[in-house]
Amino acid sequence: MAEFSFELNDDQKGVRDWIHGFAADVMRPAAAEWDEREETPWPIIQEAAKIGLYSLDFYAQQFFDPTGLGIPMAMEELFWGDAGIALSIVGTGLAAVGVLANGTDEQIGTWIPQMYGDADDVKVAAFCSSEPDAGSDVAAMRTRAVYDQAKDEWVLNGTKTWATNGGIANVHVVVAVVDPELGSKGHASFIIPPNTPGLSQGQKFKKHGIRASHTAEVVLEDVRVPGHCLLGGKEKLDERLARARERSAKGGERVKNAAMATFEASRPAVGAQAVGVARAAYEVALDYATTREQFGRPIIDNQGVAFQLADMRTRIDAARLLVYRASWMAANNKPFTSAEGSMSKLFAGETAKKVTAQAIQILGGNGFTREYPVERMHRDAAIFTIFEGTSEIQRLVIARTLSGVHVR
C-alpha cells in the first residue's frame, strides 16, 4: 500500500508538466474556436493520440498508479487547458471505467483497445446510462435487455440521453434493465460493438458549456448483441440477481447496480476536472488583478478583490486535497465509509462554479465578454454540479452514508 502523501513524485511531476505543455500549446489556442463550432475537435484528439496522451497505455499507467494521484493530476491539467476539448479527450474514459468496473479480463482486453483506436485512426467510446425520465433516479430506467436463449443474444430497446460521444462512438457501453422487479438492482451493462444494427444517434444537444464535447441521445431499436457482450458474463449476472432477490425479500442490504459502480469509481476524477477549471479561472483573475489599474493602482490593492482571490485559492486547494484523498483511498482499496468520493466531487464542483463566477466579477465588464476566457470557463463549470450525480445527489449519498438513514 502506498503511503498517503500530498506531494507528487518526480515521475508524476514530469507527466504533469508534459500534459500541461500540451494543454497550454495545443488546447488553449484552439479552445474558443471549438467552443463556437460546437463540434468534436478530432484534430486535437488526434494530436493527443500522436504523442500518446490519448491512448489506453497512458490511462492504464495513470489508473494503476499506486498513489492514486495519476488520474486526478492528469485530469486537472487537461481541464486547466479547456474543459470542452478535455472532455472530448477523456470522455472515452467513462466507458472504459464501465468495462473495468464490471467486465471480465477478456472483455477488458477485447473492447477497451477498440474504444481508442490509434493515432492514424482515432476512435471514441460512449457510456450510456441516463434516460429522458431516468437521470438521478436510476430506478426509473426503461431501457430493456431481454435474453434470447436460443441464439445466445441479448436484445436491447430504449433511448439513452446525455451520452458523451453518443452516436459517434466506435463502442457504446449501455446500462439496461434485465429484471424490472428488482428496480435499480436489476440492471446490467452491455457492450454494443461497432456498426451494430439498430443503434442510432438521436438528438444532438446544443449546450450552455463544454460545447466542444459531443452530447447526444442514443436510440436502441431491437439491438442484438452476442451473449459475451454482457459485462461480467451471464453466470455472474444470474448470481447477482439471485442475491438481490433474496436480500430484497428479506429487506436486506442494498446491492450496487452497474451504473453506480462506474460513477463511484469516476467521481474523484470528475472532481479533479472541476479543480482544473477553477484553477484556470483563478490564474486569469490573479493576473488581471495584478496588472489592471484603477484610480492609479492595481485593483489587487483593494481588499474586496484581494480577499476574493484568497478565498478562491483556499477553496481550490481544499478541493484538490479532497480529490487526492478519495483517489488514494480508491487506489488502495479503502472503502468510502464517509462517502469520500462524493465529497470530493461535490466540493470541487461547487468550487468550480463559485470560483469562475468570482473571476468574472474581478474582471468586471471584460469578464462578461468572450475576449477573456473566464466567460467560457464559467459556462463550462456549470456542468460539474450536474453530470455524474448532481450536487443534490452527492449530498444525499453523503447523508445516507454518514447516518445510515435512507434520507429522501
Residues known to be catalytic: 388
Alpha helices in 83-233 (DSSP H): 83-90, 92-102, 105-116
15 with 7: CB under 8 angstroms?
A: no
Please name which of 281, 278, 285 lies closest in space to residue 351, comparing C-alpha atoms.
278
Beta strands in 105-164 (DSSP E): 117-118, 121-122, 125-128, 144-148, 153-164
Our measurement of the distance from residue 225's CA atom to the centroid of its chain's CA atoms, rounded to an integer in Å, reads 26
Question: 191 vs 22, 61, 255, CA distance in Å?
Answer: 32, 24, 22
Please name which of 312, 284, 275 lies closest in space to residue 372, comparing C-alpha atoms.
284
Q: What H or E segment, with its residue span, contains residue 199?
A: strand 199-204
Residue 34 zone, left/alpha/beta (φ > 0; ψ -120 to 50; rest): alpha
Grid coordinates in use for 216?
A: 447526444
197 CB-side CA count, 13 A:
2
Length of the chain (residues): 408
Our measurement of the distance from residue 324's CA atom to the centroid of its chain's CA atoms, rounded to an integer in Å, reads 16
Beta bridge partners of 230: 190
Grid coordinates in use for 335?
A: 472503502
Please name which of 210, 191, 188, 207 lies closest in space to residue 199, comparing C-alpha atoms.
191
